[in-house]
Structure 1
Amino acid sequence: MVFRNLTISYEIIKSLKKEPSLLGLQIRSISSLKVVWKKDTRLDEAIEQDKRYKLCARVVKEVLNEPGQVIPLRYLEKRRERLRLTFKAKSFVEMNPCLFEIYYDRIKPKSDLVQFIRPTPRLRAFLDEEQRIYAENEPLIVSKLCKLLMMAKDKVISADKLVHVKRDFGFPNDFLMKLVQKYPNYFRLTGLPEEGKSFLELVSWNPDFAKSKIEQRAEDEALQTGVRVRPNFNVKLPSGFFLRKEMREWTRDWLEQDYISPYEDVSHLDQASKEMEKRTVAVVHELLSLSLLKRVPVPTLGKFCHEFRFSNAFSSVFTRHSGIFYLSLKGGIKTAVLREAYKDDDLVDRDPLLAIKDRFLSLLEEGWQERKDRLKQQREQVQKDRELLLATKSNEPKERLCD
């Protein structure tokens, strides 16, 4: 798969105007600046590993959103397609014994008894633990939300869009109402919430939050070495990845340009300028750094083109800067991954809020092991019963057919 039409630098365009005799040669050179997409198996595996976790999280969310946090099993069965369940709902409950338990109740007072499901005590305990982790990391959540607003045009973002990405950044379900009421010095909710037209606005600018991951890393390195370090991107080309000479030179020149902070006012920059591309890469890098798993679906990022001043072709930065990002096609959706946050398929730059995911995975694995042990015991019991039956038959006296 080949991604073409890389951004042409301003210097090359000027050289074309000055030397029109070289126009044909230069165009061929520029048009040859292509980046071949190369599959990164390890990063794809990191995404694949989350499939089962995400499925379980979707079903749990579905049940918890029901009145009384209970649901008839047959109702859940009807929602299989929407939940992307590839097997029966009852099988899902049996495969995850730590999540739900089945009991009998009536949908209406005089109706027949039917199977319902409800959260297990262990799932309830996890939900309490989740709230505790959120409370412990509230300053981190506040800083993330402030940073998103500080990077945005006019320092305001649609509340609906923020709710849509709450899982990507690790925000709790009630983050809007809770944080707006608790931190009026930072946030203000405007518009008409009842009509779905509300916006979250930044009230005050905190300079402590106005440092990107790259700028903070440069500061930390300068403190350790005593040498001033220029903020710049880490370029980490995957094994076996090859860039043609022209592309290597283009990348080198691009890296030598001054870093533009995602928190800097760029209203004066032209959308098609090389400086604006540098800023776009900085914003995307910061967004992925703030995300929980250091990766976000490209369509999700695309919803914020207006807020973060992205061009319509912003997604080209993921292939043009393959040493910074990886564009995964796993699961039929494009996902932007921050390379420096991973070592093979392991996330090394871990967000403190990932403690919630770790605890949920432990709960799932506990249930899977219990089911595995139970099935093993059942198989062993069947084998014992079979052996006992064979032994009994072998000890029975044989009938004499004739004297």
Structure 2
Amino acid sequence: MANKLIKFPTNFTKSSKNPHYPPSLLRFMTTSKRVQDRSQQKRVHALEIAVEKNKIASKILFLLELLKHEPEQIIPIRSLDQHRRQLNLPKPHKLSDFIRKSPKLFELYKDQRGTTWVGLTKKGEELIEEEERLIAENEETALEHVTRLLMMSVEKVLPLDKIAHFRRDLGLPYDFRKNWVHKYPDCFRVFKNEDDVEFLKLVSWNPSWSVTEVEKKIMGITKAENHVPGMLSLPFPMKFPPDYKKVYRYAGQIENFQKREYLSPYADAKELKAGSVEFDKRAIAVMHEVLSFMNEKRLVTDHLTHFRREFVMPQKLMRILLKHFGIFYVSERGKRFSVFLTEAYEGSELIEKCPLVVWKEKVFSLTGYRGRKKKIETFDDLDGFDDNDLFESDSEDENTIRVDQSFKEDDTMSDVEYESIPRFSEMDIGEVQKAYKET
């Protein structure tokens, strides 16, 4: 409770009566509050910056990975057109303009037939080799986390396609479905169902891996060879925003919630009744555990919702994420919502960074940003911020294909305009009391 504070949701409106959102989207929201209304009023400035950085870096990482798996690590630029959705690069933005923004990583040139190609610079090649080495070094950690995901699942089975959603977050190799999963027959095995869908099935239970991250942190458990998961009453680490001055008024409700017992994510949850207090609090424990496994302690929320059935979590998962804002923070920057484990962040930075996160930040620092600055008054103005500035051409001659030599050492993506994202003053705190009374 002595941690620094993070902003939490307030000032919601009835989403079920709002005609502007389709039913498919409303299913992932609380039935009585809209994420968008909460976000426009009370956002966590630092964590929104982290989301904005990731939006830009993900485009570059996708292109690096695409080139990595080309035979000569080069590709005709016209072939990239089929990947516009993954790059989040809608027309009429030009692919060549996007690539020119990162001359330290990518090169553009024309062959004798006039075909434009994109390839990697020497630095880009070195970064790919470095990532492969780090993934190999991360293999034992990835093995543990994949096994623990299987241990938390109600049937001890997970579809390989769903695990693939976590591939980069867990530090798994690109081809893990073909090779990696077969290297550990003592932990799990691959099988296909009658529809030819591949699944990963737990082979052996590891008691020492059934200790939750909360137990390790609070109780200091390091080895537990005979551990049997059961009921827990351990508090979840929480952070609230710095401008939340009146948290002490509701300390009693928060303390009661924290003391309430819940079933370990690794214990059998088949008998839990959906909608019960025990059911919902176990869901919080599952989400906390899953996020703890991820390299950046965050995920897009639909990756969590994909596992509702396997992990025995409630259908209205977003409602729980929003209610327990001291444990989680939900951002709706971009087209997909992201959820953070708030304890893992200090401002916009991870407190503990694994080597793969450090590598990603290195890639980010080499990504060019020279777009025209524009005044951004609100979060809505940020919707096209990175796309427009990354993709708009700086060249008067659109047919010129060359690396822009005017790129300067300090012209990097680390210069995202932090102050362009607005801050908010002290918040309305009525929501925190209501959330803990309802829980």
TM exceeds 0.5?
yes
Query: Match for 2:55: what amino acid?
Result: K
Q: Which moved more, 1:246-255 or 1:329-338?
A: 246-255
Residues 191 and 201 in structure 2, CA contact (< 8 A), matched pair in contact too: yes
Deviates more, 1:232-241 or 1:183-192: 232-241
Deviation at 1:281, TM superposition (A): 0.4
Q: 1:391 aligns to what?
A: none
Query: Quick check: 1:93 aligned with 2:96?
Result: no
Shift of 1:332: 4.0
Contact 1:260 1:275 in 2 (8 A): yes
Please say if 1:290 is aligned against 2:285: no
Question: Which position in structure 2 is the counterpart of 1:374?
Answer: 406
Q: Provide the rounded CA distance (Å) in 2 between the counterparts of 1:244 and 1:363.
A: 41
- SS for the counterpart of 1:307 is coil
Q: Report the counterpart of residue 74 of structure 1 in structure 2.
A: 78
Residues 1:340 and 2:343 are matched in the alignment: yes
Residue type matched to 1:374 in 2?
A: S
Alignment of 1:323 onto 2:326: yes
For residue 201 of structure 1, give the secondary structure of its aligned residue in structure 2: strand
TM-score (norm 2): 0.68
Structure-to-structure mapping, 1:300-315, within 5 angstroms: 300-315=303-318
Say whether the 8 Å CA contact 1:43–1:344 is kept in structure 2: yes
Provide structure 2 residue ranges, at least 5 long, that are not aligned to the other structure. 1-9, 15-31, 224-231, 372-402, 410-439
Q: Which residue of 2 aligns with 1:8?
A: none
SS in 1 for 2:177: helix
Question: Secondary structure in 2 aligned to 1:330?
Answer: coil
SS in structure 1 of the partner of residue 118 of structure 2: strand
CA RMSD of superposed structures (Å): 3.6
Unaligned runs of 5+ in 1: 6-31, 107-111, 224-228, 378-403
Structure 1 residues 89 and 324, CA, compared in 2 at 3 Å: closer, same or farther? same
Name the amino acid aligned to 1:219. M
- Other-structure match for 1:18: none
Q: Which stretch shows the higher mean deviation, 167-176 or 298-307? A: 167-176
With 167-176 and 182-191 compared, the bigger mean Cα shift is at 167-176
Change (3 A) 1:81 1:160: closer
SS at match of 1:57: helix
For this pair of structures, how many residues does the alignment match? Answer: 338
Call closer, same or farther: CA 1:81–1:151 in 2, change over 3 Å.
closer
Q: Is the 8 A contact 1:298 1:335 kept in 2?
A: yes
Q: Match for 2:306: what amino acid?
A: K
Q: What code does the residue aligned with 1:189 have?
A: V
Judging changes above 3 Å, is the alpha-carbon distance between structure 1 residues 344 and 156 closer, same or farther for their aligned structure 2 residues? same
Structure 1 distance, partners of 2:355, 2:193, is: 34
Q: Give the 3 Å change call, closer, same or farther, for CA 128–375 of structure 1 in structure 2.
A: closer
| SS state at 1:309 partner | coil
Contact kept, 8 Å, 2:237 with 2:343, in 1: the verdict is yes
Structure-2 separation of matches of 1:376 and 1:46? 24
Question: 1:52 Cα deviation (Å)?
Answer: 2.0
Corresponding residue for 1:272?
A: 275
**Secondary structure of the corresponding residue to residue 118 of structure 1:** strand
2: CA distance, partners of 1:148 / 1:222: 19
- Partner SS state of residue 340, structure 2: strand
With the length of structure 1 as denominator, give the TM-score of the two structures: 0.74
Q: Please state whether the residue corresponding to 2:310 is helix, strand or coil.
A: coil
From the superposition, tell whether residues 339 and 246 of structure 1 become closer, same or farther in structure 2 (CA, over 3 Å): same
Q: Structure 2: which amino acid aligns with 1:269?
A: L
1:181 positional shift: 2.1
Partner of 2:356: 353
Aligned pair partner of 2:46 in 42, 45, 48? 42
Q: Which amino acid aligns with 1:161?
A: K
Asked if the contact 1:218/1:230 (under 8 Å) is kept, the reply is no
- For residues 213 and 365 of structure 1, do their structure 2 counterparts lie closer, same or farther at Cα, with a shift above 3 Å needed? farther
Q: CA deviation at 1:144?
A: 0.9
Once the two structures are TM-superposed, the CA of residue 173 in structure 1 deviates from its matched residue by 0.8
Give the aligned partner of residue 302 of structure 2: 299
Does the 8 A contact of 1:97 with 1:367 survive in 2?
A: no
How far is the alpha carbon of 1:273 from its aligned partner? 1.7
What pairs with 1:233-244 in structure 2 (closer than 5 Å)?
233-241=236-244
Q: 1:170 to 1:261 in 2, by over 3 A?
A: same
Change (3 A) 1:196 1:344: farther
Matching residue's letter, 2:287:
V
Assess, with a 3 A threshold, how the Cα gap between structure 1 residues 246 and 273 changes in structure 2: closer, same or farther. Answer: farther
Aligned counterpart, 1:157: 158
Identity %: 32
Looking at CA atoms only, which structure, 1 or 2, has the larger radius of gyration? 1
Q: Which has the higher contact order (CA 8 A, sep 6+)?
A: 2
Amino acid at match of 1:45: I
Equivalent position SS for 2:406? helix
Distance 1:310-1:63 versus aligned 2 partners, 3 A rule: same
**1:210 corresponds to:** 210
Which letter does structure 2 place at the counterpart of 1:333?
R
